[in-house]
Structure 1
Amino acid sequence: MTPADLDTARQSALLAALPEPQRVRVMEGAQVQSVETGQTIFLQDEPADALFIVLDGWVKLYRVASSGTEAVVSVMTRGRSFGEAVALRGLPYPVSAEAITPARLLRLDAARLRHLLQSDPAMATSMLAAVFVHLQHLVGQIEGLKARSGVQRVAEFLLDLSAGREGEVSVALPYNKALIAGRLGIKPETLSRAFARLRDHGVRIEAAMAHIEDVDRLRELVAEDPAKAWLR
């Protein structure tokens, strides 16, 4: 594990609230796992024998309905953790996980971590912060799906990619447009229409790049009354 890997793991929501001695104990025996694009990390309903922190790359979490339809639950990138809520309770994975780019993961054994938490209640309390972060993230996702138009969801996605930069920005779309649409809860054709409508707000899509003339204009669109945005 490289120094950069250690920094990424320490700053993840899973470990950030722990004092350094406890972080060291948690990471003892952790393994770095490399996966290729399209490789399955675990499948829905399998026993949750591990939890993961993304060190590099992108991973999608998804569920498959009885009809065979795939629903993208979340997309994880560097510093994000997944699998902890069920792994720490010894439950099956409620979703499947698949690498959508080459990725490197820190794999933590669930049984060992459960033993640590049972022997150290203070550590268990601190790690509840990770579950709370995920809850906040899911609530934010639901709010976005319910209260924002497709154009606003796409604009917010581009803002997240711009990572707080200002003015004119170019960002790479991190994965294919079909997956972006699934992640945002819209159809691929709706995504195409949203990209077209965003041209009026200074956004130009070229292949896998988004060129944003002014980040503040996108912020204004995301904050706009959804009733107006639905008409765009």
Structure 2
Amino acid sequence: MVVGHDLEMLRRALFLSGISEEALQRFASTTPVATFASGQIIFHQDDPATAFYFVLEGWAAVFREGPDGGRTAIHLVGPGESFAEGVLAREARYPASAEAATDLRLARIDTARFRDLIIQSPELSLSIISAMFGKLRFLVTRIEQNQRWSPSRRIAAFLHRICGEQAGFCSFELPVEQRYIAARLSMTPATFSRALAELSAIGVEAKRRKIVISDVDRLLRFVNEDQS
């Protein structure tokens, strides 16, 4: 069941924005928390879609599998984000695969049970639409950034997100391997490495997964500049 800090995170989920507090408490009390080790598959492409997921801790990678076994990265999903909500239709199948990019904790939302919840609280259908619209808006923004922003600017924006509201000095380890972040930012791992090194000019130092940012405000100014 989802309790404590996990419940606070779930309370902010867009797909639950139309639910009452009483209904939320009931829902959370019967929603299981699933754990996955890094590299473990959550679901395979074309599997029957029995659940969608909300990330409580860690990162999940969503990808398409080609006939030759190759992978095309679709998305990297972090704490406070959900994925696979689009499988709520009956007899749906997962259009992509997902695996744990790190050790991972997820709230597992059973699709059949959530459909029943929508019948009991029809306003939830609007919440799902809102959540899907939010994802569409994110996708449009990401496509625009990939076309207009330099690789270093995209990386800077990702690093700033990890720092959050922190000001001044910021130090952390990248939450996942660089190849996952490169895929999320629509670049090759080699391009990612080169662009990350270029950020040393604005006070970003990287040694393997360790990142040290001397001035978060300076990093944000770089993100907000109109880069060619």
Structure 2 length-normalised TM? 0.91
- Which runs of structure 2 are paired with 1:87-166 in the superposition (5 Å)? 87-88=88-89, 90-166=91-167
For 2:189, give the aligned amino acid. Answer: P
Structural mapping, 1:152-231, within 5 Å: 152-227=153-228
Q: For residues 90-139 of structure 1, what are the alpha-carbon distances to aligned partners after superposition, in whole Å with 9 as ceiling and x for unaligned?
A: 42111111001111111111011112213432222233222222222222
Alignment partner, residue 71 of structure 1: 72
Residue 168 of structure 2 aligns to a residue whose secondary structure is coil
How far, CA to CA, are the matches of 1:144 and 1:115 in structure 2?
38
Over the matched positions of the two proteins, sequence identity in percent amounts to 37
Alpha carbons 1:57, 1:101 under 8 Å: kept: yes
Question: Partner residue of 2:23?
Answer: 22
Contact 2:15 2:124 in 1 (8 A): no
- Deviations along 1:16-63, one digit per CA (max 9) or x if unpaired, are 442212323443532111111111111112121101111111111111
Letter in 2 for 1:77: G
**In structure 1, how many angstroms separate the alpha carbons of the residues matched to 2:6 and 2:221?**
36
For the residue of structure 1 that corresponds to 2:14, the secondary structure is coil
**How many positions carry a matched residue from both structures?**
227
Distance 1:152 1:86 in 2: 34
After superposing the two structures, state which structure 1 stretch, 176-185 or 23-32, moved more. 23-32
Is residue 38–residue 98 contact of structure 1 (8 Å, CA) maintained in 2?
yes
What SS class does the counterpart of residue 53 from structure 2 fall into?
strand
Structure 2 CA distance for partners of 1:17 and 1:117, relative to 1, 3 Å: closer
Which residue is equivalent to 2:37?
36
Q: CA RMSD for the aligned pairs? A: 1.8
Structure 2's unaligned 5+ residue stretches are none
Distance 1:170 1:16 in 2: 34
Higher mean displacement: 183-192 or 66-75: 66-75
Query: Are the counterparts in 2 of residues 44 and 92 from structure 1 also a CA contact under 8 Å?
Result: yes
8 A Cα contact 2:19 2:121, kept in partner = no
For residues 157 and 94 of structure 2, the distance between their equivalents in structure 1, rounded to whole angstroms, comes to 29
Q: Does 1:58 align with 2:59?
A: yes
Inter-partner Cα distance in structure 1 for 2:74 and 2:91 = 21
Taking structure 1 as the reference length, the TM-score comes to: 0.90
| Aligned-partner Cα distance in 2 for 1:158–1:146 | 19
> What secondary structure is seen at the aligned counterpart in 2 of 1:226?
coil
Is the contact made by 1:64 and 1:71 (CA closer than 8 Å) also made in structure 2? yes
CA distance in 1, matches of 2:157, 2:99: 24
Distance 2:26 2:35 in 1: 23
Q: 1:223: Cα distance to partner?
A: 2.3
CA contact (8 A) 2:49 2:93 kept: yes
Bigger shift: residues 98-107 or 59-68 = 59-68
Query: What residue identity is the alignment partner of 1:82?
Result: F
One-letter code aligned to 1:157: F
